[in-house]
Amino acid sequence: MKRRLLVLVASGALAALAIASTAGADPTNAKNALQLQAVCGTQILTVVVNGNGEFTPAHVIGSSTSVFIPTALNITFTFTPTGGSTETETDTSTKAAQVKDTITCEIPLQSFTSPFGTFTIAGRVTGFFTPR
């Protein structure tokens, strides 16, 4: 059960990178939205991810159309329930079809607190930005 909760929280975070909605929508106010910092090359970006998919796209804040589409992950998640022991999981998934001209973004360690406990995320995500 705890592993399933960790996977659900982790998926929410990726549904943290990592969002395909219309340009006019406000992804930051969507249910289950997760806002993250990402360092992509020389750019520091703020992105918002919605949904629970492992490769859920991330909307780039400050752009009405730019979306980051992940193709490979190397991300470590931790979840520490209030009064409980820390659980850690690393996701090293890769999509079957590889895309040319990808960029790798660093996700620096970020922490989120809820009534249920504390969640952290850190790692690397490879993918591409749209529009291309």
Token couple for 111: 């922490």
Contact 47, 61 (CB under 8 A): yes
Domain boundaries, the chain: 2-130
Report how far residue 63's alpha carbon sits from residue 18's, in angstroms, rounded to the nearest whole number: 15
- Determine the pLDDT at residue 10: 45
Residue length of the chain:
132
- Determine the pLDDT at residue 132: 77
Contact 110, 122 (CB under 8 A): yes
Name the DSSP class of 132: -
Using CB atoms within 10 Å of the CB of residue 20, give its burial: 0 to 12 exposed, 13 to 18 middle, 19+ buried.
middle
Report how far residue 126's alpha carbon sits from residue 22's, in angstroms, rounded to the nearest whole number: 23
pLDDT tens sequence for the chain (132 residues): 444 444 444 444 443 333 333 334 566 767 778 899 999 999 999 999 988 788 999 999 999 899 999 999 999 999 999 999 999 999 999 998 878 889 999 999 999 999 999 999 999 999 999 997
Residue 4: φ, ψ to 5°: -65, -40
What does the pLDDT look like over 73-106, one tens digit per residue?
Answer: 999 999 999 999 999 999 999 998 878 889 999 9
